[in-house]
Amino acid sequence: MNPRRISLNNEQRKLVARSDPDVKAKNLKMKQENVLQGKTLQIYWYLLTHNGAGVREIQKSLKVSSPGTVSYQVDKLLDAGIISKSQTNGKYYVKEDIKKGILGFYFHIGNFMIPRFSLYLVINILGFVGYIFFAGTYGDTFITNPAGVILLMLLIFSTSTNIYESIKLWERKPGKFI
């Protein structure tokens, strides 16, 4: 027995979509990702790297022409559920840490946004320290060993690549372009 297909018009589909919690969550996620662009992204970056801020503070720090522009961008972030406003002091705080676009290449520690490649760079530097330790301990037998030479070449390549990528990400950080 075939169940009958129910055809819905566009208005009915929208109504069903609005009532489904999974669809609501998906729509909110899409809205959050679409909001983080341009000045809105720069204001979000500022709020990530400062422990709460008001509209005037953001305007002065980012050298935005008017507080209305900042207020409009902040309202977009509030509507998307990314930030929240404190009722006690009127400052805005990051509610949800979004990893979209350029933000995915950073990790957040306290008030700092650090390029992910910097962590890899630290690991490579530790590899260099280990190489120097073994070269000092075993002398020429370690340095002239083909495995030691290959290790040194890999360390040089990966360290230089991570330095380059970290610098490029640091130059592209969103808070820099206002």
Reported pTM: 0.67
- Angle subtended at Cα 26 by Cα 25 and Cα 30, rounded to the nearest 5 degrees: 115
pLDDT averaged over the chain?
81
Find the range with the poorest average confidence among 12-16, 81-85, 106-110, 117-121.
12-16
Higher-confidence position of 111 and 136: 136
pLDDT confidence of residue 156: 93
What is the C-alpha separation between 151 and 131, in angstroms, rounded?
Answer: 8
Q: How large is the average pLDDT for residues 36-48?
A: 86
Residue 52 — very low, low, confident or very high, per pLDDT cuts 50/70/90?
Answer: confident
Higher pLDDT, 172 or 21: 172
pLDDT value at residue 31 = 67
The torsion angles phi and psi of 11, rounded to 5 degrees, stand at -65, -40
Class of domain 10-98: mainly alpha
Residue with tokens 């946004």: 113
- What is the Cβ-side half-sphere exposure of residue 157, based on CA atoms within 13 angstroms? 6
Mean pLDDT of 37-59: 87
pLDDT at 177: 42
